[in-house]
């Protein structure tokens, strides 16, 4: 049986790799179905007159650097870090806040691993390097910089199997290693290597379940959309043997700390956080739940752990949620509208659609309909509120709106597909900047759906595995978790000479694909 499990794992991996190779070698008219963008033209591929003046900031794949490119696709600035980096945010003084991957963090395993919060100056000096990664918690995926300079970070929080079962989690939905429930922490930078958690919110404090009537959080899930049903989410993955896990690790097809016992522990997998200073609210995204949420930041930590207090009077309970009302027992499958979404953002004040929310809807077709090809969309939604700004339910007891107020899909639908990572951002002229992440494709689209600018990432870093082995460029050659458009009048650029670097960074090119031999 042990040998059979190893063989099965190898066959599955081989099939996946074969599918990636097949996608990369399809006929020209089908190239867009290759989600990773192999062997297609890169760099600037489309531009137009009268574009908003500005730059795009992004982290090249597998890199410790952050690049800033102009509208011609030329790199005009580089911030150099010391660890694999993602989620850069530009500050008014030209420094950036980033998440960086800690080299030796324990316990946790999954996409978006980080563990270090850093601040790097315009001239690449490390101003702050704070490790938030130990056996109990681990910062991952995304951050948001507050006006006071503090940083909001998404973090995993380890909970034992006994602990979660005692809180009403079904045993069959609980891995042996327990769950990594989610929290959001506000960290105040202190000196160069230290920080202080000055506020935190834990999803653990806002659970309800109707599985075990002996627990304190037992209740009517449908009557409490402000709480999370502790037993929603995917079933645990099929168990595998230790031999199979070792094979996966040897082939680098498993996360560094992944074990046979913690598969499924990353239960909510939060992937984005955004802050609204005017409302003092936090929006975040859970692709595992197919929902976006809003909570109150004006609370104290004690109030955030309760159901009362704060500007909006509800403590740390959800003020708003949208995308999958099945999670709070309202509607059915046809009312689910979010599918593995990323990059929730409020539209900035003064921009068209201000106050609404935008996000990248990763897989709105194939993930729930077997008769359809996978494709993505960008959604803009306007939450329903009363005259005091409180979020309200529709008559059907679901959070609105019933439909997005705007969305972008490719004209042929299927040529736009980023099944994971990715993001979107409203621009001041009403256009929307889109990051189709797996392909490393950035483009600007008008409200009518016309693409007026397009650039495909052509860079890749050279970070190695801890043992010195190189990181394979396949299949995620040009992957981009997040990219951001920065307007030319941003304060960070005052007195900066943003001319193209000379020389430009070295472009990464895949070896030419092998042509199939024709049979006689």
Residues 6+ apart with CB under 8 A from 416: 375, 376, 377, 409, 410, 436
Q: What is d(CA 226, CA 207) in angstroms, rounded to the nearest whole number?
A: 9
DSSP assignment string, 146-201 = -TTS-EEEEEEEEE-HHHHHHTT--GGG--TT-EEEEEEEEEEE-STT-EEEEEEE
For the stretch 371-429, pLDDT in tens is 467 899 999 999 999 999 999 999 999 999 999 999 999 999 989 999 999 999 999 99
Residues 6+ apart with CB under 8 A from 27: none
Q: Work out the pLDDT band at 26, boundaries 50, 70, 90.
A: very low
Statement: residue 20 has pLDDT above 70: no
Residues 6+ apart with CB under 8 A from 469: none
For the stretch 214-224, pLDDT in tens is 999 999 999 99
| Tokens 């530009």 found at | 90
Helix or strand (DSSP H, E) at 452: strand 451-456
Identify whether 499 is part of a domain. Answer: no
The residue among 366, 364, 342, 358 whose CA lies nearest residue 481 is 342
pLDDT of residue 33: 67
Identify whether 38 is part of a domain. Answer: yes
Q: Work out the pLDDT band at 485, boundaries 50, 70, 90.
A: very high
For the stretch 460-475, pLDDT in tens is 999 988 788 899 999 9
Mean of pLDDT values over 12-24: 38
pLDDT of residue 519: 52
Residues 6+ apart with CB under 8 A from 243: 2, 3, 5, 6
Residues 6+ apart with CB under 8 A from 108: 133, 138, 140, 156, 158, 180, 257, 266
> Residue 222 carries which DSSP code?
G
Q: What is d(CA 409, CA 364) in angstroms, rounded to the nearest whole number?
A: 10
pLDDT of residue 234: 86
Identify whether 467 is part of a domain. Answer: yes
Domain count, the chain: 1
Q: What is d(CA 58, CA 442) in angstroms, rounded to the nearest whole number?
A: 10
For the stretch 79-128, pLDDT in tens is 999 999 989 999 999 999 999 999 999 999 999 999 999 999 999 999 99
pLDDT of residue 395: 96
- Domain span at 101: 2-493
Mean of pLDDT values over 138-142: 98
Identify whether 234 is part of a domain. Answer: yes
Q: Do 153 and 185 touch, CB atoms closer than 8 A?
A: yes
Identify whether 516 is part of a domain. Answer: no
Q: Work out the pLDDT band at 513, boundaries 50, 70, 90.
A: confident
pLDDT of residue 7: 35
Mean of pLDDT values over 285-302: 98
pLDDT of residue 366: 55
Helix or strand (DSSP H, E) at 303: helix 301-304
Strand order in the sheet with 441-445: 43-46, 451-456, 441-445, 432-436, 423-426
Expressed in percent and rounded to 5, the helix, strand and coil fractions of the chain are 15, 30, 55
Joined tokens for residue 246: 């070792």
Statement: residue 4 has pLDDT above 60: no
Q: Work out the pLDDT band at 21, boundaries 50, 70, 90.
A: very low
3-state secondary structure of 333: helix
Q: What is the mean pLDDT of the chain?
A: 91
Q: Do 84 and 111 touch, CB atoms closer than 8 A?
A: no
Cβ burial, residue 118 (10 Å; 0-12/13-18/19+): buried
Statement: residue 338 has pLDDT above 50: yes
375 or 25, which is more confident?
375
* Dihedral angle sign, alpha carbons of residues 197, 198, 203, 204: positive
Identify whether 366 is part of a domain. Answer: yes
The residue among 56, 92, 81, 50 whose CA lies nearest residue 495 is 92
The residue among 357, 478, 444, 374 whose CA lies nearest residue 416 is 374
For the stretch 32-83, pLDDT in tens is 568 999 999 999 999 999 899 999 999 999 999 999 999 999 999 999 999 9
Q: Work out the pLDDT band at 31, boundaries 50, 70, 90.
A: very low
pLDDT of residue 13: 39
Identify whether 513 is part of a domain. Answer: no
Q: Do 70 and 91 touch, CB atoms closer than 8 A?
A: no
Give, in degrees to the nearest 5, the angle at Cα 231 between 228 and 233. Answer: 90
21 or 236, which is more confident?
236
Phi, then psi, of 172 in degrees rounded to 5: -70, -10
pLDDT of residue 5: 39
Q: Do 286 and 318 touch, CB atoms closer than 8 A?
A: no
For the stretch 225-283, pLDDT in tens is 999 999 998 889 999 999 999 999 999 899 999 999 999 999 999 999 999 999 999 99
139 or 86, which is more confident?
139
Statement: residue 505 has pLDDT above 70: yes
Identify whether 508 is part of a domain. Answer: no
- Provide the whole-model pTM: 0.93
Q: Do 296 and 319 touch, CB atoms closer than 8 A?
A: yes
Give, in degrees to the nearest 5, the angle at Cα 341 between 472 and 318. Answer: 130
């Amino acid at each position: 049986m042990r040998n059979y499990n190893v063989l099965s794992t190898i066959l599955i991996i081989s099939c996946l790799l074969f599918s990636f190779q097949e996608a990369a070698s399809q006929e020209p008219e089908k190239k867009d179905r290759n989600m990773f963008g192999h062997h297609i033209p890169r760099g600037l591929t489309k531009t137009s007159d009268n574009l908003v003046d500005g730059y795009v900031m992004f982290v090249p794949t597998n890199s410790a650097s952050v690049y800033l490119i102009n509208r011609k696709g030329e790199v005009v600035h580089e911030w150099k870090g010391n660890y694999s980096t993602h989620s850069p945010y530009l500050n008014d003084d030209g420094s950036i806040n980033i998440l960086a991957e800690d080299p030796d963090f324990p316990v946790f395993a999954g996409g978006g691993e980080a563990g270090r919060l850093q601040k790097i100056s315009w001239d690449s000096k490390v101003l702050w390097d704070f490790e938030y990664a130990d056996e109990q918690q681990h910062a991952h995926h995304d951050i948001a910089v507050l006006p006071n300079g503090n940083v909001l970070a998404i973090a995993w929080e380890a909970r034992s199997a006994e602990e979660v079962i005692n809180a009403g989690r079904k045993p069959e939905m609980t891995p042996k290693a327990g769950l990594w429930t989610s929290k959001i922490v506000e960290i105040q930078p202190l000196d160069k290597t230290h920080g202080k958690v000055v506020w935190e919110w834990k999803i653990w404090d806002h659970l309800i379940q109707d599985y075990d009537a002996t627990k304190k959080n037992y209740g009517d899930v449908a009557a409490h959309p402000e709480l999370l049903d502790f037993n929603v989410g995917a079933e645990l993955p099929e168990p595998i043997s230790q031999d199979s896990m070792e094979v996966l690790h040897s082939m680098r097809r498993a996360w560094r700390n992944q074990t046979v016992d913690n598969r499924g522990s990353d239960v909510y997998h939060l992937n984005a956080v955004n802050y609204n200073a005017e409302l003092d609210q936090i929006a975040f995204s859970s692709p595992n739940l197919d929902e976006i949420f809003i909570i109150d930041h004006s609370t104290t930590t004690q109030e955030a752990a309760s159901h009362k207090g704060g500007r909006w009077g509800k403590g740390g309970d959800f003020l708003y949620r949208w995308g999958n009302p099945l999670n709070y027992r309202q509607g059915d499958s046809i009312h689910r509208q979010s599918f593995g979404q990323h990059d929730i953002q409020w539209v900035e004040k003064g921009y068209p659609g201000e106050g609404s929310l935008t996000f990248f809807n990763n897989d709105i077709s194939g993930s729930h309909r077997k008769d359809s090809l996978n494709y993505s969309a960008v959604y803009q939604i306007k939450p329903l509120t009363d005259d005091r700004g409180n979020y309200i339910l529709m008559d059907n007891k679901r959070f609105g709106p019933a439909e997005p107020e705007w969305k972008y899909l490719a004209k042929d639908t299927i040529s736009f597909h980023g099944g994971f990572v990715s993001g979107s951002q409203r621009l001041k002229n009403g256009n929307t900047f889109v990051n189709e992440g797996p392909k490393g494709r950035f483009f600007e689209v008008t409200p009518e759906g016309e693409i007026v600018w397009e650039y495909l990432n052509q860079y890749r870093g050279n970070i190695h595995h801890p043992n010195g082995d190189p990181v394979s460029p396949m299949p995620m050659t040009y992957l981009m978790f997040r990219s951001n458009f920065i307007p030319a009048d941003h304060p960070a650029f005052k007195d900066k000479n943003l001319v193209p670097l000379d020389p430009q960074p070295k472009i990464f090119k895949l070896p030419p694909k092998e042509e199939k031999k024709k049979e006689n």
